[in-house]
Chain A
Amino acid sequence: MARLLIVIFFTAISSVSLADNVVRDAALDKWSESERALIDSMLIDHLGPPPVDASNKFADNKNAAKLGKKIFNDTRFSANGKVSCASCHLSDYNFTDKLSLAEGIGTTTRRSMPAVGMAYQKWFFWDGRKDSSWAQALAPLESPVEHGISRTFSTQLIYKHYRNDYLAVFGALAEINIAALSPQARPDTNDEVAMKQWQAISHNGREQITRVFVNTGKALAAFVRTIKPAASAFDDYARALAVGDKQGLASLTPEQTRGLRLFVTKAKCINCHNGPLLSNGEFHHVGIHDKGETDRGRGAVIETVALDEFGCLSRWSDANPNKDCAHVRYLDTRAEKYEGAFKTPSLRNVSIRSPYMHAGQFATLSEVLFNYRAVSGKLLTDEVFHNDLSDEELGELESFLNALTSH
Chain B
Amino acid sequence: MKPYLALVSTIAIIFINDVYAIDASNKMARDRPEQMCLANTWSGHSLTVSYTIEGDKPPLNTIHSWTLTVTDKKGEAIDGAEIILSADMPEHLHGMTTRPVITAGTSPGHYKVEGMNFHMPGWWEITLDISKGRSRNLVTFNLLVGEGLDMKHHQHHEHMNMKMDKQKPKTKYLWQGC
Contact = CB atoms under 8 A, between A and B. Distances in A.
Interface in B120-167: 120-122, 144, 146-149, 160, 163-164, 167
Nearest to A331: B98
A339 B164 contact: no
The DSSP consensus for interface residues of chain B is: loop
B98 A299 contact: no
- 7 closest pairs, A vs B, by CB? A37-B148, A330-B115, A285-B21, A34-B147, A339-B19, A340-B19, A330-B98
B10 interface: no
Contacts of B164: 32-33
Contact of B114 (A38, A294, A330, A338): A330
Contacts of B112: none
Interface in A269-326: 270-272, 274-275, 280-285, 289, 294, 296, 299, 326
A37 B117 CA distance: 19
B99 A331 contact: yes
A151 to B, nearest CB: 31
A380 interface: yes
B60 A275 contact: yes
Interface centre among A41, A289, A340 (most CB of B within 10 A): A41
Contacts of B58: none
A340 B115 contact: no
B18 A382 contact: no
A270 B121 CA distance: 8
A271 B121 contact: yes
Contacts of A32: 164, 167
B109 interface: no
A382 B100 CA distance: 24
Interface string A330-352: 11100011111100000000000
Given A271-B121, A275-B60, A331 B97 contact: yes
Nearest to A339: B19
Given A330-B114, A382-B92, A339 B22 contact: yes
B148 A36 contact: yes
A383 interface: yes
Contacts of A329: 115
Interface centre among A272, A281, A289, A329 (most CB of B within 10 A): A329
Contact of A275 (B61, B97, B101, B144): B61
B147 A38 contact: yes
Contacts of A326: 63, 114-115
Contacts of A271: 92, 120-122
Given A271-B121, A271-B122, A282-B119, A340 B147 contact: no
A274 B61 contact: yes
Interface of A: 32-34, 36-38, 40-41, 270-272, 274-275, 280-285, 289, 294, 296, 299, 326-327, 329-332, 336-341, 379-380, 382-383
A270 B147 CA distance: 11
A38 to B, nearest CB: 6
A339 B20 CA distance: 5
Interface of B: 17-24, 60-61, 63, 92-94, 96-101, 114-115, 117, 119-122, 144, 146-149, 160, 163-164, 167
B20 A280 contact: no
Contacts of A338: 21
Contacts of A275: 60-61
Contacts of A270: 121
Nearest to B167: A32
Contacts of B19: 285, 294, 296, 299, 339-340, 380
B21 A341 contact: yes
28 contacts: A32-B164, A32-B167, A33-B149, A33-B163, A33-B164, A37-B146, A37-B148, A38-B121, A38-B148, A271-B120, A274-B121, A274-B146, A280-B60, A280-B119, A280-B120, A281-B61, A283-B97, A285-B21, A289-B17, A294-B19, A326-B115, A331-B99, A332-B99, A339-B20, A340-B18, A379-B20, A380-B20, A382-B21
Contacts of A299: 19, 21
A338 B24 CA distance: 12
Nearest to B150: A37
Nearest to B146: A41
A329 B97 CA distance: 12
A280 B22 CA distance: 19
A326 to B, nearest CB: 4
A277 to B, nearest CB: 9
A327 B17 CA distance: 31
Nearest to B166: A32
Contacts of B93: 382
Given A330-B63, A330-B99, A41 B115 contact: no
B121 A340 contact: no
A382 B94 contact: yes
Given A274-B121, A294-B19, A299-B19, A34 B148 contact: yes
Contacts of A34: 144, 147-149
Contact of A41 (B60, B63, B100): B60
A336 B120 contact: no
